[in-house]
Chain A
Amino acid sequence: AQKITQTQPGMFVQEKEAVTLDCTYDTSDQSYGLFWYKQPSSGEMIFLIYQGSYDEQNATEGRYSLNFQKARKSANLVISASQLGDSAMYFCAMRSLYGNKLVFGAGTILRVKS
Chain B
Amino acid sequence: EAQVTQNPRYLITVTGKKLTVTCSQNMNHEYMSWYRQDPGLGLRQIYYSMNVEVTDKGDVPEGYKVSRKEKRNFPLILESPSPNQTSLYFCASSLRGQGINEQYFGPGTRLTVT
Give me the interface of A with B, judged by CB distance under 8 Å.
4, 31-33, 35, 37, 43-45, 47, 50, 52, 91, 93, 95-102, 104-107
Interface footprint category on B: 20 to 34
B12 contacts the other chain (Cβ, under 8 Å)?
Answer: no
A101 with B58: CB separation less than 8 A: yes
CA distance A95 to B92 in the complex (A): 14
Enumerate 24 A-B pairs (CB-CB under 8 Å) in ascending A order: A31-B100, A33-B100, A35-B102, A43-B107, A44-B105, A44-B108, A45-B105, A45-B108, A47-B102, A47-B104, A52-B100, A93-B43, A99-B98, A100-B33, A101-B45, A101-B58, A102-B43, A102-B103, A104-B35, A104-B42, A105-B42, A106-B40, A106-B42, A107-B42
A91 with B99: CB separation less than 8 A: no
CA distance A99 to B33 in the complex (A): 13
Determine how close the nearest CB of chain B comes to the CB of A54; give it in whole angstroms. 10
Give me the interface of B with A, judged by CB distance under 8 Å.
31, 33, 35, 40-45, 48, 50, 56, 58-59, 88, 90, 92, 97-100, 102-105, 107-108, 110
B48 with A104: CB separation less than 8 A: no
CA distance A31 to B48 in the complex (A): 21
Determine how close the nearest CB of chain B comes to the CB of A25; give it in whole angstroms. 13
CA distance A100 to B35 in the complex (A): 12
Task: Identify the closest chain B residue to A39 (Cβ).
Answer: B37
Give the most central of B41, B42, B107, B110: most A CB within 10 Å: B42
Determine how close the nearest CB of chain B comes to the CB of A18; give it in whole angstroms. 24
